[in-house]
A and B are shown apart, each in its own frame.
Chain A
Amino acid sequence: MFFRAPTILPTGNIIGAIFFGVVLLGAWTAFGLRIRELVRLLRLGQPENRLDHLGERISFFLKGVLGQQGVLRNPIPGLAHFFTFWGFIILQIDALNLWANGFNFSLPLVSSSAFAVILDVFLVFVTLALIVFAYRRVIQRPPELASQTHDPKDGLIILGLIFLVVFTLVGIEAFAFAATGGKDWSPLGAFFGTPFLGMGAAGATVLYRAFWWAQILTVLGFLIYIPRSKHLHLMATPFNVFLQKSEAQPAGALPLIPDIEGRFEREENVGVSQVNQFTWKQLLDGYACTECGRCNSVCPALATGKPLWPKEVIIGVKEQLFADGGLMLAGQYTDASDELKLPLVGGRIQDETLWSCTTCGGCVNICPVNIDHVTKIVDMRRHLVMEEEGRFPKEVAPLFTNLERNNNPWQIRNDTRAEWAQDLGVKLMQDAPECEILYWVGCMGSFDQRNRKVATAFVKVLQAAHVNFAILGPEESCTGDPARRIGNEYLWQTLAQQNIEVLNGYGFNRRLAAFNAEAERAAPGTVAPTRKRLILATCPHCFNTIKNEYPQLGGEYTVMHHTQYINLLIETGKLKLPEGFDRRKMTYHDPCYIGRWNGIYDEPRRVLNVINENGVTEMERTRNRSFCCGGGGGRVWMEEKVGTRVNHARVQEAIDTGAETLAAACPFCITMFEDGITAKGKKDDFKVEDLAEIIARALEEAPISADVALAE
């Protein structure tokens, strides 16, 4: 028979089986009701399509869920989690068999000795993992595991329950072995059951049944408890990993708010002040959060004493969903007027928390379950900036006004934008509209004294490689990045549209090129050929916004950061560098907006490895773990009054490498670091240089390449 009866019927008789059936049904009903409630709460959120690119999503699932890629980045707890996860799966399969046993049948394969071996191996690993987890929670207590909202006991309860599951399973195996006189064999059962062989079948059967019931009740208790605890992540995470941003939604792009004016006319929200204004996926993030606190451990704001705990933002949104969402479902929710109710923004999540974020993306990058913290923070900032009256740091108002009036962050007339390049022989796009390469200088490169030197250096590099390029000069405006990240989506759209019009006018839009190619195919000879055009940016913020965010408004451009382009020039042999020319000990800081948000880590290093004899001396936190300079997310325009300074922390880390030069690739990083170095009194013996400056100097001092280094 396919489903053969178990050797011992754990429920004893038909009445026991019926009773077990009732218990099972009751537990599953309690579970189902909770899941139904959780799904209804999620559906309060706004629509968002996360079912595109299914192939890619399956790979997310295989790597992230089955492969446990996310947690494994932190090796010891990661490995412990890996075995707990797979142990859990195996245990569940075994639990199904135990339930079947209660109704006097067994599942094939699962009842085999081979499966028993696999199960027991995992039981051992899970036990070891439990020891690791308990050590971390009770003795080691890393700060990131703490939470202001949730009692850390929750974690211990779960550990206790898992231990009970393991313990009762071993008990079942041992007494099954003893009661059947060794017929029901399993490695652990034989090990622990042998001493009980002498107690007689009847006594062992009674104990077997006791352990069986204990096992069943623990697992069912788990089933009821999980969706009400932080271990909800167990159910939500697989979905969250599967539903993460696909390639079509670049990491560096914030979501667009279409038709802002229309939304205002219709009295719809443009930012988030109520929990149901998040999308369902943003709400699912809360369910998926395991409260592991990796986000807290990497947050530059938290590390320097700002009131921002990324984990608490995620838990806060989830708690708000449970509080307000429940009322919304019951039709009892009234907005803000209720004084007693804790508002989401300014209540559960403080304004100061939102303003502390540098949008460096450290939290998003490290999260093992693909939670997006930054988007939520910006959505709430959008509420403060666009829907409230001036609920933002006061330094921001002049920034917005200047961006509106002068198209740059300062009170400087934008028609002086090309002044820095006057004596460099740089063409303006309006004088050379056929030029195929545009150098997008950005406001810092155009106006900031320090960063003008970077722009000048990059121009010299381009000229040395005989690149035919032009700049926009007065036609260029701020890309809008600071406005968008501070929450002024309206201003960002205004500036972006302005720039897109200018860029389209010079034929840079890929979409336009495709359109023209199509028209040319339809009627050959009527459309002027559109060339491949390229935009180069020295500012990672400009780079990210043009590359990843302008497509939201129809502007699709090929954009390269200057570190990528210099690398390309070297690789294609257009730029000859004196190898190993630079002998200074050098470290490199990964800017957030080319590193984490765009994955550019290798190109700048490759360039530095060619030019520098010693290569790059890495800082402790490097590549995707790089620690923000403190200037992102519009923070560079705000005062930093709370805690210590982010830039000081990073500068110290750079100095600690023993390097004499810090290579940077972002104007804001350079500004922040130079401030930090001056404050530390290290101005004379520690320098910040942009990659372009390092290359330009090498070209100047050793114009004819390779041999120089070899000769010495």
Chain B
Amino acid sequence: MARYPATLTAANKQGYNEEKSFRGNKGVPRQSLPPLLAPLSLDLEESTLKIVVCMKETPSTEVPKSLGADMRLARNPGDTIINPFDEYTIEEGLRQQEKLGGDVVILTMGPGATTEPMRRALAMGATSGVLVSDTALAGSDAVATGRVLAAALKKLSADLVLFGQSSADAYGGIVPAITAEFMGVPLLSFATKVEVEGNAVTIEREADVGYTKATAPLPALVSIAKAINNNPRYPSMKGIMSAKKKPLDTWTLADLGLDAGTVGTGAAKERVTGATPVATQRRREIITGSAGAAQRIFDFLVENKVI
């Protein structure tokens, strides 16, 4: 069972350490022989690592994107897929589970979250899923999203929380940090390698030269960089079939003990005030006629330092 410190500062004091190698509180290696009668342990929960992958539904790449009247992306519930960045994250979660055991829970939030992407994540091999779905969530900004996710993650007693680096529709990339703050646990961002050892998680993050190594005690949040490039698995038929029977819970704000006033359009501190299509203006020059055309082309290329 994960226990969360009250604040991020407290979390840092607990041993969050960046930029240098750190061994988590793995404990002293056993030197002596184990006692003949090992103390009977019934604390099973302690031994099960709970990995929660936060997944967003994003519009399918197949569907042309358009803006709604509120100048936000028009979402068609039938045509959503797993946020492509989150596919890497699910893959990473599953690989950690294969190594360490425990469960991988998929957490999705949205006003009308659908089950299709969730089923696919379960088909890839996740253990169970939770949808936080409440009409009051419509129009939530990143802060509200973080608030809700943090509440759900606490309710789930997550040990290791994995996020994709950002969503492929909004590209905000700040929800992991906001969620970490609400939970009061450390965030290791943009990981290209994740290693859980004992009670700590260590990541590698690509830097200009080489990489940064960062370690934090569990529970912790890790956001996975696209650069991890871990070939997300294609669900097998077996996976697809078993996904239909895997537990999938739907929670409302009430289930999380959250006030509807703290989320949704009303609470949003960020508003879309306008939207304009990207105007691609190509600088071009049309040369007509044959007289002097070659010279002009030559001059143009020289002017533009092509030749």
By size class, the interface of chain B is 10 to 19
Would you call B231 and A405 a contact (CB within 8 A)? no
For B62, list chain A residues within 8 Å (CB).
Answer: 405-407, 413-415
Most buried by A among B61, B62, B240: B62
A571 within 8 A of B: no
Distance from B111 Cβ to chain A, minimum over Cβ atoms (Å): 23
A386 near B238 with CB under 8 A, answer yes
Q: Which 4 A-B pairs give the minimum distances between C-beta atoms? A: A386-B237, A397-B234, A264-B241, A390-B233
The A contact surface, by secondary structure, is: helix
Find chain B residues with CB under 8 A from A497 CB: none
Q: Are A385 and B236 in contact (CB under 8 A)?
A: yes
| Nearest opposing residue in chain B for A262, CB measure | B241
Q: Which one of B60, B232, B236 lies within 8 Å of A387 (CB-CB)?
A: B236
Q: Are B236 and A388 in contact (CB under 8 A)?
A: yes
Task: Tell me if B38 counts as interface (CB < 8 A to partner A).
Answer: no
B102 at the interface (CB under 8 A from A): no
Q: Which residues of B contact A185 (CB under 8 A)?
A: none
- Over the window 382-394 of chain A, the binary record of Cβ atoms lying under 8 Å from chain B Cβ atoms (1 yes, 0 no) is 0001111110001
Write the B78-93 contact mask toward A (1 if CB under 8 angstroms, else 0).
0001000000000000
List 19 additional contacts besides A260-B237, A413-B62, A490-B240; criterion CB under 8 Å.
Answer: A261-B241, A264-B237, A264-B241, A265-B241, A386-B236, A386-B237, A387-B238, A389-B125, A389-B233, A389-B238, A389-B239, A396-B234, A406-B61, A406-B62, A413-B61, A413-B64, A414-B62, A415-B64, A490-B237
Give B residues with C-beta under 8 Å from A. Answer: 60-64, 81, 125, 231-234, 236-241
Candidate in A388, A394, A400, A401 with the most chain B CB atoms within 10 angstroms: A401
A390 to B240, CA, bound (A): 13
B residues near A414, Cβ cutoff 8 Å? 62
Q: How far is the CA of A318 from the CA of B64 in the complex (A)?
A: 53
Q: What separation, in Å, do the CA atoms of A260 and B241 have in the docked complex?
A: 10
Q: How many A-B residue pairs have CB under 8 A?
A: 49
Complex CA gap A103/B81 in Å reads 83
B190 to chain A, nearest CB (A): 23
- Is residue A74 within 8 Å, beta carbon to beta carbon, of the partner chain? no
Q: Kindly provide the distance from the CB of B230 to the nearest chain A CB, expressed in whole angstroms.
A: 10
Residues of A within 8 A of B (CB): 260-261, 264-265, 270, 385-390, 394, 396-397, 400-401, 405-407, 411, 413-415, 490
Shortest Cβ gap from B127 to chain A (Å):
15
Please tell me if the beta carbons of B241 and A405 are within 8 angstroms of each other in the complex.
no
Within 8 Å by CB of B61, from A385, A387, A411, lies A411
Chain A residues, Cβ within 8 Å of B240: 490
Q: Are B236 and A389 in contact, CB atoms less than 8 angstroms apart?
A: yes
Within the assembled complex, what's the spacing in Å between the Cα atoms of A390 and B238?
A: 11
Contact across chains for A397 and B61 when beta carbons are under 8 A apart? no
Residue on B with the closest CB to A411? B61
Contact at B237–A397, with CB atoms within 8 Å? no
Closest beta carbon of chain A to B194's beta carbon, Å: 20
* A-B CB contact pairs (8 Å), 20 listed: A260-B237, A261-B241, A264-B238, A385-B236, A387-B238, A389-B125, A389-B236, A396-B234, A397-B231, A397-B232, A397-B233, A401-B234, A405-B62, A407-B62, A413-B61, A413-B62, A413-B64, A415-B62, A415-B64, A490-B240
Chain A residues, CB < 8 A from B232: 397
Q: Once bound together, how far apart are the Cα atoms of A413 and B240, in whole Å?
A: 24
Check B233–A387 contact: CB distance below 8 A.
no
Query: Which chain A residue lies CB-closest to B238?
Result: A387
Residues of B within 8 A of A394 (CB): 231
Q: Which residue of B lies closest to A413 (CB)?
A: B62
Of chain B, the residue at the smallest CB distance from A399 is: B234
B101: min CB distance to chain A, Å:
17
Which residue of chain B has its CB nearest to the CB of A389?
A: B236
